[in-house]
Structure 1
Amino acid sequence: MGKALKKQKDRKETTFFQRFIYWGFIPLLIVLFLGLLIASFAGVNVFQQAKELAGKIPFISNVAVQEDNENISEYKEKMIQLDAEIQNKNAEIEQLKKKIEDKDAEQERYKVEKKRLEETIDELKEQQEQNKREFKDIVSTYASMSPKKAAPIVLEMNDDEAVKILTNLPTESLAKILENMPADKAAKYTEKLSINAN
């Protein structure tokens, strides 16, 4: 008989616990879930509201304030670090900008120098062409002169200029001018002409 009473008592305890779960706990969870769902559709941030309510409860509010203070100090430190990094990056950017400006200025100087050199080269080429034309005119003048008049003039020149002119004369004019020179001078110029020809 004692066993039967014990089983009945166990059944009642189990039944009471099961009833509590079925009729109390599960409906409470369903109501909470539906409440959260409705609140989220309504645009209410339930967790923010819960945090505010918790802040009004004395013990929980002290814990929340301590956490907020710790979070604020951490954020301040992070902000200081990030601000320092930003300043470093800005300094690097300024240095790079300065280098770029220096390179641009140097490149501009090179362009100006290049343009000046090109102008100088063009002037020298033009001058060289003019000198060639003038020299050709001088050579043609000596070629058209009578050998008797040309020979004494060539003898008065320095040897380099004389050889340069004699080298560019046509062979017939050269031969006639050399005939009208003294033999020793004609031999000297002939020797220099043969050296230049080689």
Structure 2
Amino acid sequence: MARNSKLHADKKIVEKKKSTRLFQEVLLWTLIPLLFTTMVLLIIAYVADVNVFDKAKEWSKSLPFTDQKQADDENEDDLIIEERVVELQAEIQEKEAQLFKLQENLAKSEDEKKVLLDEQTSLLAQIEALKMEKEDYKRDMKEIISTFEKMSAKSAAPVITKMSDAEAIEILTKLKPEVLAPILEKMSPEDAAKYTSLMTK
């Protein structure tokens, strides 16, 4: 009986070795030639300048189960592109709004500039008119002083006292001393003192 069990165990070992050997033979006769053939084909494709991986992608696209995935990828790409288009359109609108605001500001500043130029022109005209008035006044004043210098002291004194203090002082300060003294003598002592005091200030 021990012999039978030993035979049985030996038989199992032999069967196990046979199955292992069969597997090794299958591996040796199918897998190794297949790998060798694949390697040779890849070398030929490389020498022929054929990109095997691109070709594999093209063939995989033609398979029926990859069509749906490809369509999904295209839809996803389309959605991404549409989102980007919407973002760019929003950005364009924002830039247009900024441009419009800048144009408004520019127009406003141009209007302000025009108003300021008009004001400047008006002020320059007023300055010119004032200069002319001043020149006319100086000319008139010279004529008035010349008239007072020609008048007698007796006639000039009452005229000066009837003028405003500012006008009287302006005339008296521009008269020559030899003309001024007789005019002051012909005034009342109060008027003479008043004008003398105002002229010294």
TM-score category (smaller protein): 0.7 to 0.9
Residue matched to 2:156: 150
Matches within 5 A, 1:36-185: 37=49, 47=54, 50-51=57-58, 54-185=60-191
Kept in 2: contact 1:54–1:61 (CA 8 A):
no
Task: Note the C-alpha offset of 1:18.
Answer: 5.2
The C-alpha deviation readout for 1:95-146, integer Å capped at 9, x for no partner, is 1221122122212211221222122122212222221222122122212333
The correspondence for 2:40, drawn from 16, 27, 30, is 27
Q: Cα gap change, 1:105/1:171 in structure 2, threshold over 3 Å: closer, same or farther?
A: same
2:192 is the alignment partner of 1:186: yes
The C-alpha deviation readout for 1:27-62, integer Å capped at 9, x for no partner, is 221233345x468xxxxxx959954x5444321111
- For residues 194 and 94 of structure 2, what CA distance do their matches in structure 1 show? 81
* Number of residue-to-residue matches in the alignment: 182
Q: Percent identity?
A: 30
Q: Cα gap change, 1:33/1:189 in structure 2, threshold over 3 Å: closer, same or farther?
A: same
Task: Describe the SS at the equivalent of 2:187.
Answer: coil
> What TM-score do the two structures reach when normalised by structure 2?
0.73
Compute the RMSD of aligned alpha carbons: 3.3
Instruction: Return the letter of the residue paired with 1:104.
Output: E
- For residues 129 and 47 of structure 2, what CA distance do their matches in structure 1 show? 94
Unaligned 5+ runs, structure 2: 1-13, 15-19
Unaligned 5+ runs, structure 1: 40-45
Kept in 2: contact 1:163–1:189 (CA 8 A):
yes
> What TM-score do the two structures reach when normalised by structure 1?
0.73
Higher Rg: 2
